[in-house]
A and B are shown apart, each in its own frame.
Chain A
C-alpha cells in the first residue's frame, strides 16, 4: 500500500510495527482460545525428582502438543523440525507453511510480506503456550532460499 505523503521514516516504521503488533495480538487471541478447545482433556505433566527437570519435561510436552495437534488443526500438517536446548529455548521449523506457498519467488517485497504474515503464527504460538500456563517470547525467521518461499522458523524463549 502507498504510504501517505509527508510521513517521516520513523512514522512509517512505527506504523509497520503497530501493524505487526496487531497481527501478533490477533494470533495470540486465536491461539489462546483454540488451545482451550484442543487441550480440553489433556494434561501436560511429567514426574521426576528434580523440579527443574520436571518443569522442562512438562514444557517439552506442551511444545510437542503445539507442534503436532495445534499445528495440524491450523495448517493441516505438523511442524517439520523441533529443536531444544532443554533450558527453555525451542526452535520450530516449518519447511512448507501453507500460508506462504503462493508468494512469488525471489522477490524482496514477498520477503517483507512473509515477515508481516508470520506475526500471526507467532501470536498463535504465544497464545497456545499462555493457555497452558507457559509464558514465552516468540520470534520468527523467514528461511526462504529463493525458490522455496514457504520455509520459516519460530523461536520460543520461555520466560
Chain B
C-alpha cells in the first residue's frame, strides 16, 4: 500500500468517525492509571504490566472495528502493515499523524508527534523513568496484531513525559502464527 494512500485513507476515516472530547479522554485515562497505581501499591512495573494488558484487550477488539470501517487493502508485508497501523489506524482512532520508520523487515517504529493520552500529564520525579504512562498503545498494537496472526513485542522507547522530544513505539515481529481451528476440528 502506498504511503500516501494509507495517510489519505486515515484522514477520511477520521473525518467520518464520531468523536469524543479529548480532555475527557485524557482525564479518564489519568483516573484509570491512578486506580491501577492504587491497586499495585505504587509498584511501577506492575502498573506498566496492567496498562499493557488493558491495551491488549482494547487492541483485540479495535482491530475488528478498524477492519470493518476502513477499506485497508491486503497487506503483503510487515512494511505495508506498519504503514496501515501508523498512518491509517492511529489517524482513524486518535486523529494523530504518526511517522513510520522501518528499521528492518521485522521491525518498525511509530513516532508520535502528539500524544492524546498525555494531555495535562506530568509525572512525579520518582516515576519519570519507571512508569511507562502511555504503554497502553503498546498493548493495543500487540493485541490488534495478534488477531491478524502477527505475534509482536512492543515497547515504548521514547516518551515526552520522560523528557524526550517525541513518543516512540518500537514494534518487533517475533512470529507469524498459523491459522488453527483447534484440536477439536482436526480431520480424522
Contacts and interface: CB of A to CB of B under 8 A. Distances in A.
Contact of B27 (A22, A25, A30): A30
A26 B28 contact: yes
B86 to A, nearest CB: 29
Interface residues of A, number: 11
A26 B24 contact: no
B32 interface: yes
A73 interface: yes
B35 A74 contact: no
A34 B120 CA distance: 11
If over half of A's interface residues share one DSSP class (helix, strand or loop), that class is named, otherwise mixed; here it is: helix
A73 B21 contact: yes
A34 B35 contact: no
Nearest to A32: B27
Contacts of A148: none
B35 A22 contact: yes
B21 A29 contact: no
Contacts of A29: 27, 30-31, 34
B23 interface: yes
A34 B24 contact: yes
B119 to A, nearest CB: 11
Interface in B110-139: 120
Contact of A37 (B23, B31, B35): B23
User: What range describes how many residues of B lie at the interface?
Assistant: 10 to 19
A34 B23 contact: yes
B21 A74 contact: yes
B31 A30 contact: yes
A8 B81 CA distance: 48
A33 B23 CA distance: 9
B21 A33 contact: no
Interface in A1-58: 22, 25-27, 29-30, 33-34, 37
A25 B120 CA distance: 19
Interface in B24-65: 24, 27-28, 30-32, 34-35
B35 A73 contact: no
Choose among A30, A37, A73 the residue with the greatest number of B CB atoms under 10 Å from its CB: A30
Contacts of A33: 27, 120
Contacts of B27: 29-30, 33-34
A30 B28 contact: yes
B23 A26 contact: no
Contact of A74 (B24, B31, B32): B24
Contacts of A26: 28, 31-32, 34-35
Contacts of B24: 30, 34, 73-74
Contacts of A74: 21, 24
Contacts of A22: 35
27 contacts: A22-B35, A25-B31, A25-B35, A26-B28, A26-B31, A26-B32, A26-B34, A27-B31, A29-B27, A29-B30, A29-B31, A29-B34, A30-B24, A30-B27, A30-B28, A30-B31, A33-B27, A33-B120, A34-B23, A34-B24, A34-B27, A37-B23, A73-B21, A73-B23, A73-B24, A74-B21, A74-B24
Given A26-B32, A29-B34, A30-B28, 5 more contacts: A25-B35, A29-B27, A34-B24, A73-B23, A73-B24
